[in-house]
Amino acid sequence: MAVELTEAAQQQALWGEVSAEWSALEAAAYARMPGVASRTVTVVSGKGGGNSTTTAAALVHFLSLVVPRLTVGVDLDPTIGKLRRRLAGQADPDVKALTEFVADAEQVVFPSELMSYLQVASGRVHLMHHDRARRAAVRAMRRPELDVSLARLSQLAQLVVTDLGKQLLDDCAQAGLHAADHLAIGALSTVDSLESTHQLLEELREDDLDDLVAGATVVLGVENPGVDLEELRPAIDWLAESCGGVFVVPYDPALHGGGLINWNELTRESNLGFLRACNHVAGCLARPARHTAGVPARPGRAA
């Protein structure tokens, strides 16, 4: 005689399955990351709407749990700059701005020297942002100095996650794409966002970044609880065929509003969606580096 489970028992069984997959994904990501040399992940969204900052925040948060050494999130969006708000809330007035690091990068050789430019968000999560810098100073950052800065940062941290927002043409975006070992794309479950993501991939291919596109991790956020993903299936399938993988993060009110994300308030399904994406990123980062960039050391000292 079959025994019919109560709703509470069914929910507990579901949570047990989620927790089992969660543990397996976390273990797999940890196994891949400890021996990985320095890597940079660049996050971008299409112009029609996306969730690059939430995606970048999730990558920084979850991958910091499996990366033994320093993890740094870098806000390279020169116009908005939401990453600090998503990961740390208020800005630390004692931390130097990204613009100052760009000016000083060639002189920053040791991790202890780097710390004055980093805001500690939580645990091993560190941030580099320009929230307190003058807008003119942010706009004045140029590609050669940004290239040197990101290369220096990747030498001092094991994992760097840069958030470009929707920008592709400015110097910050070009430096972030040039530095990338892996590309992550934040998209939303709307027709406009998926169309702009399609256009984004075409633009990246035109810039000879086919290798980044082919392995990219797409994080598809659901902002409307009533959305029917099956209606968007052709566009989602096209993304899956064009990139390395598409990972859906279900609707979760704790992700909305643009403020500080409390990861403990997210549903298990949302956390699991992010963790699946992070496990895919970890697997890609375990492969040989896309390129190796050298940075001149401070005179008289070894880098």
Question: For residue 173, what is the domain's CATH number?
Answer: 3.40.50.300
Q: Is residue 292 part of a domain?
A: no
Write out the E strands in the chain. Answer: 39-45, 71-75, 119-122, 125-128, 159-163, 182-188, 217-221, 245-249
Beta-carbon count within 10 A of 186 CB? 29
Question: What is the reported pLDDT for 302?
Answer: 35
User: Nearest 5°: phi and psi at 293?
Assistant: -110, 135
Question: What is the reported pLDDT for 186?
Answer: 96
Q: Is residue 298 part of a domain?
A: no
Q: Which amino acid type is present at position 258?
A: G
pTM: 0.88
Q: Is residue 226 part of a domain?
A: yes
Question: What is the reported pLDDT for 16?
Answer: 56
Helices (H), ranges, 105-139: 111-114, 135-139
Q: Is residue 1 part of a domain?
A: no
- Report which of 287, 176, 280 is spatially closest to residue 220, judged by C-alpha positions: 280
Q: Is residue 9 part of a domain?
A: no
Q: Domain residues for 74?
A: 28-285
Question: What is the reported pLDDT for 277?
Answer: 95
Q: How many domains does the chain have?
A: 1
Q: Is residue 10 part of a domain?
A: no
Contact predicate 212/289, CB 8 Å: no
Contact predicate 79/165, CB 8 Å: yes
pLDDT in single tens digits along all 303 residues of the chain = 444 445 554 445 545 556 777 788 777 887 777 777 789 999 999 886 678 999 999 999 999 988 888 999 999 987 766 899 999 988 888 999 999 999 999 999 998 999 999 999 877 789 999 887 888 888 889 999 999 999 999 999 999 999 998 878 789 999 999 999 999 999 999 999 999 999 999 999 999 999 999 999 999 999 898 999 999 999 999 999 999 999 999 999 999 888 899 988 999 899 899 999 999 999 999 888 776 545 443 333 333
Question: What is the reported pLDDT for 296?
Answer: 42
Question: What is the reported pLDDT for 2?
Answer: 43
